[in-house]
Amino acid sequence: MEKWGLADTGCESIAIDRRTGGTSAAATGYRRGVSADPPQRAVEVRRSARRRRTVSAYREGDRTVVLIPARMSEAEERRWVGVMLDKLAAQESKRTLGDTELTERAERLSEQYFTGRARPRSVRWVTNQNTRWGSCTPAEGSIRLSHRLQGMPEYVVDYVLLHELAHLLVPGHGPRFWELLEAYPRTERARGYLEGIVAAERLPKVPAARGE
């Protein structure tokens, strides 16, 4: 029995104080008017002279509104829009999908990117995959996703689902496999996100100074 997997390699709003809550998340794929979030949700950036330190964002219908200080540079704007899009996506993903919803999501992704050719019989969360993000058993048509993905941005979960769906069509990780995943526009960004998580987990733990 062959098993393939991806190894470790609403109105939502959120606000961050730039002095205390900053992150180094990249704004890859962002440009004014188009979000990095699928399905191509429009982004509106609003500058305010009264806003000094905080950056906030919220969903408004089919668009995302990002509020920033008026004096922020364009480079800072791009970086912070990327940060806020990822924060919102992660916040929304915390509303954990059940196995039924996960299966429906996989079916939608298959229709969108693989013309419905990948047809899983089951898609579910598992808690026993700590060295891989997902796995697939083509003979059974079963896909399993690690519970560690829960809370990550939606585009990352979608990438892992598509990775496992692709294994229903092509075993192994040869050229044909990666050609399938090229259809998903955020493959490289999602892979970079997961690689960053793995790299962070491998960093040596620095002991806290005495008295901290």
Q: Closest Cα partner for 123 from 89, 94, 99?
A: 99
Task: Tell me how crowded residue 63 is: count the other CB atoms within 10 A of its CB.
Answer: 13
pLDDT for res 101: 86
Q: Give the HSE-up count for residue 189: Cα atoms under 13 Å, Cβ half-sphere.
A: 21
pLDDT band at 36 (very low <50, low <70, confident <90, very high): very low
Chain segment 135-152, per-residue pLDDT in tens: 999 999 999 999 999 878
| Contacts of 68 by beta carbon, 8 Å cutoff, 6+ apart | 45, 46, 47, 48, 51, 55, 76, 77, 80
Chain segment 47-95, per-residue pLDDT in tens: 988 888 889 888 776 688 999 999 999 999 999 998 888 888 777 666 6
Residue whose token pair is 């829960």:
150
d(CA 13, CA 35): 16
pLDDT for res 41: 67
Residue pair 55/47 in contact (Cβ under 8 Å)? The answer is no
Map residue 177 onto helix, strand or coil: helix
Higher pLDDT, 6 or 168: 168
pLDDT for res 22: 41
